[in-house]
Structure 1
Amino acid sequence: MITSPANQHVKRIRSLASDRHERRRERMLVLEGVRLVADALESGATLTLTLYAPDQLQLTPAGAALLQKLRYLPASYEATPQVVAAASDTVHPQGVVALASWPHVAPGKPGLLLVIDAVQDPGNLGTLLRSAEAVGVAQVLCSVGTVDLYAPKVVRSAMGAHFRLAMEQDLSWDAIGERLASVDHVYAADPEARMPYYAADWRQPSALLVGNEAHGLSDAARRLATKQIAIPMRGGTESLNVAVAASVILFEALRQRTLGRS
């Protein structure tokens, strides 16, 4: 059992959690918490390093079930709760932290794309990925300037979407434009637009563009849009959080694609 917070495995996990360049160089992401690690295993991910506290995991049924799997994995080490906490990024660790290689998920059938323009908040990006996976988005494309897809807070917020959703980051607008060339409709979410989001025809190959929290869509993103859409609101709020707004629109797209436009 690992008992020292100065252990080399703890240092490696902490380094990858804090250093974007190192995550990119090694193409690794940090997984933390019972649900996220269990979800990764169920999705077929290979954990390259795992630290877990048996006594802590045994406190919940989900933790106990995960413990039975972790005992037989390679590069999986028992550790004290203090050691796992030292390797963790959260305030209240759940007794397990792991490393996994970046998943490679092939894009789905052409249908619906989500393009993210310089979203900065990790929680917002994670929620966007989670909603995109839930509605069956074929691929998520992130422009240069978007927060790191594999940052620990993004991974936690996405709740396993990384292992089931095709995604790319740091794309130039020229590259994004090439990806959208075969898309029938490119809708840009803009609170000032007159067209309501439910009037859009999401049944055809489509893309949704969402912009930065403070500045909205960039000029480069607007040039790629064929139409601009908004969410009508009756209250005094001027606009919704980008993750909330995109989720509302994406689920309307799913409704139309499932039930038809009405």
Structure 2
Amino acid sequence: MVITSTANQHVKWLRALAASARDRRRERSFVIEGVRLVADALAAGAELRLALYAPEQLAATAAGTALLARLQTLSRCFPATPAVVAAAADTEQPQGVIAAVAWPELPPRPGLRLVLDEIQDPGNVGTLLRSAAASGAGLVLCAPGTADPFSPKVARAAMGAHFVVPLRLLGWEEIAAELGPYTVYAADSAGSQPYYAVDWRQPAALIIGNEAHGLSAAARALARQTITIPMAGPIESLNAGVAGSIILFEALRQRSADACAPSPRNNV
């Protein structure tokens, strides 16, 4: 049966989940929208807790048609009118599908640890999550004061990174314990060392601070050294998402170069 009422209980639950960080933490679920993001979540094995989809909208594209065929085989996935999907959605022009998925419980992996220190712009948080996933970071830690990484805006900006990179929301004492084996660097426009001079092949963690105020006192206390991105011209600092991404990909470059280096040969 197709859901036709915008007052449906599923619509209300999705809207409440999208609007409330407290609800997301209690339910350990978050809302995603759009054909690509929902398809990526399913491909990653995410637990789909509820989905509403408009069959006629999805059938308009090849990717939507493929997703439609998958959704029709799953429980807790309900066909609805485009108006119902739009009522549940957070975007102005929804693509015909909205879903709630469980928080991924990915175990930490080897690799760089990224700490988000009071990053408040959802776009920056999403960008950093996406760059962390793309650069092979082993764990992302969200410190107190950081925008909720499971908000709809962050989920859209991260473009599926939640299902790739391990993510934790921790207090500073827990972060310090987690980073015990790692050398901790903090990005700072007045840093003492260029970011590319760090040996990122070693166990390391990177802290990116608040967009307006920089590093918190807790971050500075934890960091062994501050690093900077040298720049030409009058610009004093970069967007937090851009700065963090530059450093993350320098770490990937170093690790990739090291992995591709020829093995030494024994003389005979």
Query: Offset at 1:194?
Result: 3.6
Shift of 1:6: 0.8
Q: Secondary structure at the match of 1:260?
A: helix
What residue in structure 2 maps to residue 257 of structure 1? 255
Give the secondary structure class of the aligned counterpart of 1:153: helix
Aligned match of 2:160: 160
Between the two proteins, the alignment pairs up a number of residues equal to 259
TM, length-normalised to structure 2:
0.94
Unaligned runs of 5+ in 2: 262-268
Post-superposition offset of 1:19: 1.1
The AA in structure 1 aligned to 2:179 is L
Query: In 2, Cα distance between the equivalents of 1:123 and 1:193?
Result: 24
In the alignment, what sits opposite 2:234? 236
Q: Give the corresponding residue for 2:147.
A: 147
Q: Write the distance in 1 (CA, Å) between the matches of 2:225 and 2:172.
A: 17
Q: Distance in 2 between matches of 1:104 and 1:176?
A: 17
Q: Shift of residue 180 of structure 1?
A: 1.4
Q: TM-score, normalised by structure 1?
A: 0.96
1:68-217 pair list within 5 angstroms:
68-109=69-110, 111-169=111-169, 171-183=170-182, 185-217=183-215
Alpha-carbon offset, residue 236 of structure 1: 2.0
> For the residues of structure 2 that align with 1:224 and 1:201, how far apart are their CA atoms?
19
Q: Aligned letter for 1:144?
A: P
Q: Which amino acid aligns with 2:256?
A: T
The one-letter code matched in structure 2 to 1:161 is A
Q: CA deviation at 1:28?
A: 0.8
- Cα deviations by residue, 1:192-247 (Å, 9 ceiling, x for unpaired): 11411111110100010100111000111011111111111112211110000000
What code does the residue aligned with 1:151 have?
S
Q: Is the 2:186–2:226 contact (alpha carbons within 8 Å) kept by the matching residues of 1?
A: yes
1:187 CA drift (Å): 1.1
**How far does residue 176 in structure 1 lie from its aligned partner after superposition?**
1.2
- In structure 1, what residue type is equivalent to 2:201? R
Instruction: Write the deviation string for residues 56-86 of structure 1: whole angstroms up to 9, x where unpaired.
Output: 1111111111111011110111111110000
CA distance in 2, matches of 1:44, 1:77: 19
SS for the counterpart of 2:4 is: coil
User: AA paired with 2:188?
Assistant: D
CA-CA distance at 1:259 after TM superposition: 0.1
The one-letter code sitting in structure 2 at the alignment partner of 1:197 is Y
Distance 2:117 2:126 in 1: 14
User: RMSD across aligned C-alpha pairs, in angstroms?
Assistant: 1.3
Aligned with 2:51: secondary structure?
A: strand
Runs of 4+ displaced beyond 4 Å: none
SS of match in other structure, 1:188: strand
| Long gaps (5+) in structure 1 | none
- Structure index of larger Rg: 2
User: Counterparts of 1:20 and 1:175 in 2: how far apart (Å)?
Assistant: 21
Of all paired residues, the percent bearing the same amino acid is 59
